[in-house]
Amino acid sequence: MAEKDSTTEFLKSAEEAAKAILETVKEDGFIQVFSHLDADGVAAAGVIGKALLRLDAKFRIRITQWVDEKIFAEILSEKPQMIILSDFGSGYINLLNDKLSDFKIAVLDHHQIVGEREKPNIIHVNPHSYGIDGARDISGAGVAYFVAKKIDEENVDLAPIAVVGALGDLQDKYDQRKLGGVNEKIVEDGVNAGLLTVERDLIFFGRETRPIHKTLASTTNPFIPGISGEEDKSLAFLASLDIKPKHGERWRALRDLSDDEKKRLCSALADYLLSKGLHIEVTNLIGHVYTLTREEPWTPIRDAREFAVLLNATGRMEKPSLGVSICMGDRGAALEAANKVLEEYRRTINKYLGWVMEKPERMKEMENIYVVYGESFINEKIVGAISSILATSLPNPEKPLIAYANVEEGGLAKFSARTIDIMTNKGVNLGEVMQVAAEKCLGNGGGHNIAAGAQVPIENVDAFIKVVDELVGKQLRGEKVRS
Ligand SMILES: [Mn+2]
């Protein structure tokens, strides 16, 4: 299919979902919305929520990690006139049809479709159905956005939220960390509506307005051990580079630096990280920066990447409704509360990363992988974020990383595995590795090729690590991992 046709076909399916929603609202029906617990899922829920609010619809939003029996039970007891699933659902089409065949369902997702694609009671909007790459060209929030825009053109003002969702799912995979594909159309909408600007600069949060040392101290991408979370050390670092933090009485922000100072800062950061046994591509520190121009300077929701971190934080710290209401336009008290959650999340991440780097036995290098032994120190809800951050800054970035934390109840360890994109070309598929290794160790696992997870009984942790190391080795040699 030509690119233009595929987008047209995709938009037609979004229109079908919009029509069904409008019809339900017209009949005064109750709509239950379920969305995925991550930054993109929270953004998707915010987009749909705002569109429904504007229609004066009866609806409720629930953010969850996956579709399970609890959700089916809730639906069966509430008997809504319509169900919307956003940023998940495409993996459950058969199950949804089995359990909820009497319900009208719209699935607005961008994950791989598992099993059948079409069922009479389900309107399925998914870019993969039209040959569009859902992994990098459009996110769950993006799919929700096109449906919202078909509901009412006024919803074009939700374009920045869809951009936040795409960045939350790390879809900035085009040259110089740019959003491409269908995402580019959403960016255009935002820019044309005067809500968004795109510039090329250092990608650090707060680069516009925050004092430089605070920006460096608060970054977790990259994580800079000894500087992240420590403003005084950050000031000393700047002094050692002869970069003045103040201009007269006024603190300078990153955007105030000259090109030469920016270059000096980037290469010094790379050297510093290398001295700590971490690796960063300087080119990754510079890229397309997406700014929500209507938001107040100094707030984390002015920068789309930082906005995504805030949404992720509300999810991980068990306050996703805060994130949803901010996406729906709430500011004031909601934003203040979300800021506190974000600070707490950053402190937690910094504490964990500092802990990992403190002693070599906490992150070990094996033949084919790195292993982080989070045990009972790292919270199992945060272990995924920790492995994502560490996987991008390893001394040998081509080795996948697995990190685990003990789950309080049940005697289980939760593993999270990450690697960088290029490893898929070299045969690595962590979803397959986690699945096969977990099966061998009486657990269960699975996921995407570069991000996956597993749960195994604690007593099998060492055996599991050994199997994962072997399986990754097999994949690198081009051998099959399933026997
Ligand atoms: Mn997503």
Per residue in 160-170, pLDDT (tens digit) is: 999 999 999 98
pLDDT digits (tens, 9 = 90+) for 132-182: 999 899 999 999 999 999 999 999 999 999 999 999 998 998 999 999 999
| Nearest 10 degrees: Cα torsion 459, 465, 466, 467 | 100
Higher per-residue confidence, 204 vs 85: 85
Distance, CA 448 to ligand 1 centroid (Å)? 12
Global pTM reads 0.88
Please check the confidence at residue 231 and state whether its pLDDT lies above 60: yes
Architecture of domain 3-154: Alpha-Beta Complex (3.90)
Distance, CA 261 to ligand 1 centroid (Å)? 36
Distance, CA 259 to ligand 1 centroid (Å)? 35
Q: Which residues, including other chains, have CB under 8 Å from residue 32's CB and lie 6 or more apart? A: 59, 60, 62, 74, 75, 78, 80, 82, 83, 84
Q: Where in the chain is the domain with CATH 3.10.310.40?
A: 359-476
How many Cα atoms sit within 13 Å of 103 on the Cβ side?
27
Distance, CA 399 to ligand 1 centroid (Å)? 25
Distance, CA 291 to ligand 1 centroid (Å)? 21
Q: Whole-number mean pLDDT of the chain?
A: 92
Distance, CA 320 to ligand 1 centroid (Å)? 15
CB 103 within 8 A of CB 83: yes
pLDDT for res 330? 97
Neighbours of 62 (CB within 10 A): 16
pLDDT for res 19? 98
Distance, CA 91 to ligand 1 centroid (Å)? 13
Distance, CA 123 to ligand 1 centroid (Å)? 18
Q: Where in the chain is the domain with CATH 3.90.1640.30?
A: 3-154
Residue 427 φ/ψ region, left for φ over 0, alpha for ψ in the -120 to 50 degree band, beta for the rest: left
Please check the confidence at residue 211 and state whether its pLDDT lies above 80: yes
Position 386 confidence tier, pLDDT thresholds 50, 70, 90: very high
Distance, CA 213 to ligand 1 centroid (Å)? 32
Distance, CA 293 to ligand 1 centroid (Å)? 24
For the stretch 27-30, contacts whose Cβ atoms lie closer than 8 Å and that sit 24 or more positions apart, written own/partner, are 27/81, 28/58, 29/58, 29/80, 29/81, 29/82, 30/58, 30/59, 30/60, 30/78, 30/80, 30/81, 30/82
**Separation between Cα atoms, residue 84 and residue 356, nearest integer Å:** 40
Please check the confidence at residue 277 and state whether its pLDDT lies above 90: no
Class for domain 359-476, per CATH? alpha beta
